[in-house]
A = this chain, B = another copy of it.
Amino acid sequence: MRDLAGRVLAGEIRAAARAISLIERRDDNLASLLSALYPSTGGAFRIGITGPPGAGKSTLAGCLAQRFVEAGRAVGVLAVDIASPFSGGALLGDRIRMQELASDPGVFIRSMGNEGQPGGVCSAARDAVRVMEAMGKDVVLVETAGVGQTDVDVAHCVDAVVLTLVPESGDEVQLLKAGVMEIADVVALNKSDRPGATGLAGELRETLHARGERDGWETRLVRTVGSNGEGLEALYQSLEAFSRHLKSGHRLAVLRERQIRRELRERVERRLALRMNAALARESLDRAVARVRAGEDDPYNAAERLLCET
């Protein structure tokens, strides 16, 4: 593990890929690897790209990655969704574009399934982002699956959230207002050349303006057309502006502290939930009940025993 950590820190792509695989399958030796990497993390600008399926999140993530590379940054892309084009699960055209991007030496792309990790997507994504930071990436883009709570969770692990909408999202906006929209720093109205875009843009602008500034930043709306690159420069500039905003005053420090606090909470909760599942596993519970019923134990000791033995 020490060796793997060293290779990740040296920027070896295969080592980073292997580290993320270990995170995906929650390898037993993960903690020592992540502890070794940790001091070299926390330096990247972490951007979450969220929004409903079909809004063009992957395309925007790809374009942004390219633009950040042009600006001289080393970029990592993490797709937290097995159906993302980054995972090879999409249309041929998309896939070719992604492969072009992937062949750029400044870009590291990795996708990550979120099955079998109830409540752990955020944790796994956070650790994968750290691997990318440890290998030297300056910007990490996290594309979420676009399906509710997971997106909100992932958004709490990143520094900036781009909410991607399309003109067809009109009906969803009402729903989104309550959740994801609350945590968006930039809203990208993608496929903005389609009918209905201008109306929705007006509505969104009104909503965002009515909400006003939070800690000195009013969520920006940018109209984009991912397929021809329109508005992408404005999206990129908005993110750079938000990055500068974060770096002014103590904002970044406060954000990092909040992220750490949240992570510690989640880790403690998950560890105890795992212990609960172990203690209350069918077999051990059956044995404990049997012992109490046979008069060999009382419920008070039996409960303690269940907690100690597992």
Question: Which residues of A approach B to under 8 Å, CB–CB?
Answer: 31, 34-35, 38-39, 253, 256-257, 260-261, 263-265, 267-269, 271-272, 275-276, 279-280, 285, 288-289, 292-293, 295, 298-304, 306-307
Cα of A288 to Cα of B264 in the assembled complex, Å = 8
- Cα distance A34–B297 in the bound complex, in angstroms: 12
Q: How many angstroms from the CA of A261 to the CA of B279 in the assembled complex? A: 12
8 sampled A-B residue pairs with Cβ under 8 A: A35-B298, A35-B301, A257-B293, A260-B289, A261-B285, A264-B302, A267-B303, A268-B280
Chain A contact surface mostly: helix
Kindly provide the distance from the CB of A70 to the nearest chain B CB, expressed in whole angstroms.
33
Starting from the known contacts A38-B298, A260-B293, 8 additional A-B residue pairs (CB-CB under 8 Å) come to: A35-B298, A35-B300, A260-B289, A261-B289, A264-B302, A267-B300, A271-B304, A272-B279
CB distance from A97 to the nearest CB of B (A): 36
Evaluate contact between B35 and A256: CB separation under 8 angstroms.
no
Please, how many angstroms separate the alpha-carbon atoms of A276 and B273 in the complex?
10
Q: Please, which residues of chain B bring their CB within 8 A of the CB of A253?
A: 293
Report A262 CB to chain B, min CB distance, Å. 10
Quick check: A31 and B300 within 8 Å, CB to CB?
yes
- The 5 closest A-B CB pairs, nearest first, are A267-B303, A38-B298, A31-B300, A268-B279, A272-B272
Interchain CA distance A298-B288 in the complex, whole Å: 37
CB-based contact A264/B306 at 8 Å: yes
Taking CB atoms, residues of chain B closer than 8 Å to A261 are 285, 289
Assembly CA distance A35 to B304 (angstroms): 12
Cα A253 to Cα B264 with chains together (Å): 44
Question: A285-B261, A289-B260 are contacts. A299–B39 as well, Cβ < 8 Å?
Answer: no
Q: Please determine whether B285 and A264 come into contact, CB atoms closer than 8 angstroms.
A: yes
A34 touches B272 (CB 8 A): no
Q: Which listed residue, B38, B292, B307, touches A268 by the CB 8 Å rule?
A: B307
User: Per a CB cutoff under 8 Å, which of B39, B260, B303 touches A264?
Assistant: B303
